[in-house]
Amino acid sequence: MKRCTRCCYPDTKPDLHFDEEGVCSACRAYERRPQIDWEARKADLAQLLDRHHGECIVPSSGGKDSTYIAITLKELGADVIAVTATTTDWDDEKLARIFG
């Protein structure tokens, strides 16, 4: 098994690629974060929300990634609709805490 020379991610992770130095694509993407114009991207998102009257659908498992996205959108004033394919009672309770 091959692993990233920085973060130790294994090559079994789907869509993970390694460069000639053995550094994974996730680490390289993280390196590029300072080059991104975050204010411009936030403005683009605000335009999308305006165009769609602040309504958006967020696929949600109730995990940390989808929760972060949903909360961030709510903080921007969006009317968030969370959808999931299937839920258990535990998932329903977790989603209710997130979206009240």
The DSSP annotation for 15-74 comes to T--B-TTS-BHHHHHHHTGGGS-HHHHHHHHHHHHHHTTTEEEEE--SSHHHHHHHHHHH
Claim to verify: residue 41 and residue 90 sit in the same structural domain = yes
Entry pTM = 0.60
Predicted pLDDT at 23? 98
Residues 30 and 65 in one domain: no
Query: What pLDDT, on the 0 to 100 scale, is given for residue 87?
Result: 62
- Residues 42 and 87 both lie in one domain: yes
Low-confidence ranges of the chain (pLDDT < 70): 86-91, 100
46 in the same domain as 31: no
Alpha carbon distance 4, 29 (integer Å): 13
- pLDDT value at position 94? 75
Q: Are residues 81 and 42 in the same domain?
A: yes
Q: According to the model, what pLDDT value does residue 35 have?
A: 96
Q: What local confidence, expressed as pLDDT, does residue 88 receive?
A: 65
Judgement on whether residues 30 and 49 belong to the same structural domain of the protein:
no
Structural domain count, the chain: 2
Q: Does residue 18 sit in the same domain as residue 58?
A: no
Range of the domain at 53: 37-99
On whether both 28 and 42 belong to a single domain, the answer is no
Alpha carbon distance 31, 13 (integer Å): 19
